[in-house]
Amino acid sequence: MSKAALKKELQKLTKEQIIEQILDLYEKNKAVKEFYQFYLNPTSGKQLADKYKKLIRKEFNVENPMKSTERFSVAKRVISDFKNLQPSPEDLAEVMLYLSESACELTALYGDYSMQFYDSAFNNYKAALEFLKKNRLLQQFQDKALQCVKWSSCCGYGFADDMEYLYAQYYPE
């Protein structure tokens, strides 16, 4: 159903019927519930960002790498779910960059990973830096971006060089 068709159907309902529909969605759909909780209390953005960062940390479990699954697809889905809540650009940038931080820290502490792992880490780092640039947040997140480069310095497959080069593109001296 298109948005136009949905709008036409909703216009046929009374205000009370629409409220009942929303309450029903709120009760039955976790994503809708989380959206309204955030929408009605936007000051909880930092807390919500922390919740989503913990989900990413679960995928890149630095504290216990044996429990780490390193699934970039899951971590990217976490970011996408967070983005759907329409957080502030600062909170979204925090979560986006956290994926790169976690992946780089994991490989710095526990050794080389596959080329595919490094490609995914690099691509996510690039996406985060592009988002920072677009939202004029580069300066605010420079230390975290640089930390990713430092953690990657001991990695193989040219990953360290790629990360350093990319960092220099966004943070020229």
pLDDT tens track of the chain, all 173 residues? 888 988 888 888 888 988 888 888 888 888 788 778 777 776 677 888 998 999 998 888 777 766 667 788 899 999 998 998 888 899 999 999 999 999 999 888 877 778 888 999 999 999 999 999 999 999 999 999 999 999 998 887 788 999 999 999 999 87
Same domain, 110 and 95: yes
Same domain, 51 and 28: no
Same domain, 82 and 105: yes
Same domain, 22 and 100: no
Same domain, 137 and 158: yes
Given a contact cutoff of 8 angstroms between Cβ atoms, the answer to whether 82 and 95 are in contact is: yes
Same domain, 29 and 93: no
Per residue in 62-80, is it b (16+ CB within 10 Å) or e — as a string?
Answer: beeeeebebebeebbebbe
> Total structural domains in the chain?
2
Extract the tokens encoding 162.
């790629």
- Domain of residue 28, residue span: 1-40
Same domain, 161 and 80: yes
Same domain, 54 and 139: yes
